[in-house]
Amino acid sequence: QVQLVESGGGVVQPRTSLRLSCVASGITLSNHGIHWVRQAPGKGLEWVALMSPDESKTYYADSVKGRFSVSRDNSKNTAYVQMNGLTTEDTAVYYCASTGLREDDSLDLWGPGTMVTVSS
Amino acid sequence: SYVLTQPPSVSVAPGRTARITCVGNNIEDKGVHWYQQKPGQAPLLVMYYDSDRPSEIPERFSGSNSGDTATLTISRVEAGDEADYYCQVWDGDSGHHVFGSGTKVTVL
């Protein structure tokens, strides 16, 4: 079964860090770009970051640049987003999604998401 | 930064046609993707590169893109089409992907 599954969410305090994982099954992650997209409670989708298939290019939304970092471990078929300096504004469901070889390709396959709550 | 504007809501009777617009500056120069999101679920790609439809999406869904407006059209609307719909593009100038604000489709 082709799927992505995120994990690592939880309740954390402001100014702390968290790392989310995105495990792929049925697809080889190294052949795909990986997006991270988030959705605050009751709000719309917000794009967060993109890593190209060969890891040579990474792109970040202005709201997370300098605080979030994406990476992957091809041996584990897993992508990560390291989130530092979390604020209450980062509270959201975080989705990973696979994409093609081009930056403008669509987000084809989405995981179910993992909830991150930043609260004191 | 590039902005995509969608109407907050669209209401349509069963069997009729729903049209969801996505307005952006010269959006016809970009590839527009559309996603459907039902409550409590992850988004689902329903249209890519303006008018290409994934194989699992019904033919009732179609897309177009001209000038400053991209449109997702749902023909013969069914109750199961009730969801939030988002358009999305890649803004090469900023290196950012951008989502529209989303449109809630209500089937009357």
CB–CB of A106 and B49 under 8 A? yes
The residues near B71 (Cβ < 8 Å, ≥ 6 apart) are B19, B20, B21, B22, B63, B64, B65
pLDDT of residue A76: 96
The DSSP line for B83-100 is: EEEEEEEEETTTTEEEE-
Average pLDDT over residues B73-77: 98
Please, is B80 exposed, middle or buried when counting C-beta atoms within 10 Å of its C-beta (0-12, 13-18, 19+)? Answer: exposed
Size of interface A-B (CB pairs under 8 A): 61
pLDDT level of residue A43 (50, 70, 90 thresholds):
very high
Between the CA of residue B54 and those of A5, A106, B48, what are the distances in Å? 21, 11, 8
Average pLDDT over residues A74-101: 97
CB contacts, 8 Å: A104 with chain B:
30-31, 89-90, 92
Confidence of residue A3 (pLDDT cuts 50, 70, 90): very high
CA dist A12 and A90 (Å) reads: 11
**Mean pLDDT for chain B overall:** 97
**Mean pLDDT within B44-57:** 98
Residue of B nearest to A36 (CA): B97
- Which of A16-20, A26-30, B13-17, B64-68 comes out lowest in average pLDDT? A26-30
What's the rounded mean pLDDT across residues A13-26? 97
Interface of A with B (CB under 8 A): 35, 37, 44-47, 50, 59, 61-62, 95, 97, 103-108, 110-113
Catalogue the E-assigned strands of chain A. 3-7, 10-12, 18-25, 33-39, 45-51, 58-60, 68-73, 78-83, 92-99, 109-110, 114-118
Nearest-angstrom CA–CA distance, B8 and B38:
15
CA distance B47 to B64: 10
CB atoms inside a 10 Å sphere around CB B29? 10
How high is the pLDDT of residue B22? Answer: 98
Structure confidence at residue B29 as a pLDDT band (50, 70, 90): very high
Asked if B19 contacts B73 with a C-beta cutoff of 8 angstroms, the reply is: yes
Residue among B45, B99, B101 whose CB faces A47 most closely: B99
**Which of A62, A105, A110 lies nearest to residue B42, judging by beta carbons?**
A110
Residue A110's pLDDT band, with cuts at 50, 70 and 90, is: very high
Q: Given this model, what pLDDT does residue B53 score?
A: 98
User: pLDDT confidence of B86, banded at 50, 70, 90?
Assistant: very high
| pLDDT for the residue A115 | 98
